[in-house]
Amino acid sequence: MSKIESSRWEMYYRQQGLVSLPQEDWLHEHGGVSAYKYMSFPPENSSNWVPVDVVDGRINFEKASRIPGPTIPPPYKIIDFTYFRVSVEIPEGTDINSLLVTINYVDDGARMYLFNEQNLDGIYLPTLEGKLGGRDVTADFTEHAVIGKNVIVIVQFDDCPVLNRLTGGIRITLNKKDIPISENPVTPLNQPRRFYWADRLHVTSTPNIAEGTVNGKPFTYESSENVELESTLQNYGSFPKAPYDIPNIMNIKNTKVTTNTLTFPDGVKDLIIVFASIGRKGIKVDVEFDHQIQEEWKVDCVLAGRTISGNEGNAIIKIPGKVTSVTFKYTVAESRVNFLFGYEDYIVSS
């Protein structure tokens, strides 16, 4: 039988940005589970996955908190996500009698997920939520493990301005034996990503408001100017085909300085906005958001904090986590830029 070992541990750190929770989801205890509405699984093949320090064969993560202000009593209003992952290849002929993942010490919250060919969307145990001070918090993935590749992802968050940490190591056992850690990078599952895009887009009887749906979810788009539509995207052939499958369909055409608010009454996770032709040659335009944004893809654009700038630039950006409303300002009048809206969908099994 082949030797069983895991990959190295990797982390996705300081990439999602601080999340300011709406009042209805403020945390009234450290590690409150409503925080997980705002997590966003990082792309598997992102270059921002980096090795984690290992002490005595186990990962040890401790950083200064990025959350501003002095230590305060609850409610906690800002959270900071870090993601950890490891892959375990279980060879043919192995009996899987138990697969356990144990976090020695939780601060402030942590949840464990398992991904494999039977659980491409990830599975977690909803009765098991690691919260501040939790010791030897163990997830039993025995029933969900498979022969072949299994990827374990730990979603950890900080909610208080002291330390951001998972200390004491994380232990993985197969059939009650520790799985040794190798120096090999994580081998992703390369599961397909699913994107849904706006359709039925139309201007309402109020000329500065448009409506549409994304995968059946209604949304409204409100501009500070009258809304114009265009039937195709500029520079459509410049955008990557995979994995986004962006359709060349009705979209928003913008030619003025505008404040733009996109609202999904039911909320969506991982909102995606396509920008076709930000600015033009000789005219740099800043697009300023009220949320943290992440780059999915861009050409001739610069992303810094909550602003993306372009000179005839094209971009696909993500607003990670759950959102119901996003506002962005297009700061220069020029002809013209297109906006198209969508979201990336995943379903976490429980």
Q: Domains of the chain by range and CATH?
A: 10-178 (2.60.120), 194-345 (2.60.120)
- For residue 39, the 8-state DSSP code is -
Q: Would you say 64 and 110 are in contact if contact means Cβ atoms under 8 Å apart?
A: no
Judge whether residue 347 has pLDDT over 70.
Answer: no
DSSP characters over 116-143: ETTEEEEE--TT--EETT-EEEEEE-GG
The CA distance from 41 to 11, in Å, is 12
For residue 280, give both structure tokens.
């033009």
Q: What percent of the chain has pLDDT over 70?
A: 96
The CA distance from 121 to 127, in Å, is 19
Is pTM beyond 0.75 here?
no
**Higher-confidence position of 127 and 247:** 247
Q: Would you say 171 and 94 are in contact if contact means Cβ atoms under 8 Å apart?
A: no
- pLDDT tens-digit profile of 241-279? 988 999 999 999 999 999 999 999 998 989 999 999 999
Judge whether residue 306 has pLDDT over 60.
Answer: yes
Sequence-separated (6 or more) residues with CB below 8 Å from residue 60 = 52, 53, 54, 166, 167, 168, 169
Q: Would you say 88 and 179 are in contact if contact means Cβ atoms under 8 Å apart?
A: yes
Tell me the pLDDT band of 136, cut-offs 50, 70 and 90: confident
The CA distance from 248 to 234, in Å, is 9
- pLDDT tens-digit profile of 36-86? 988 988 888 888 899 988 777 677 788 899 998 877 778 899 999 999 999
Of the listed ranges 10-24, 48-62, 221-235, the least confidently predicted one is 48-62
Mean pLDDT over 293-322 rounds to 93
Share the mean pLDDT of the chain.
90
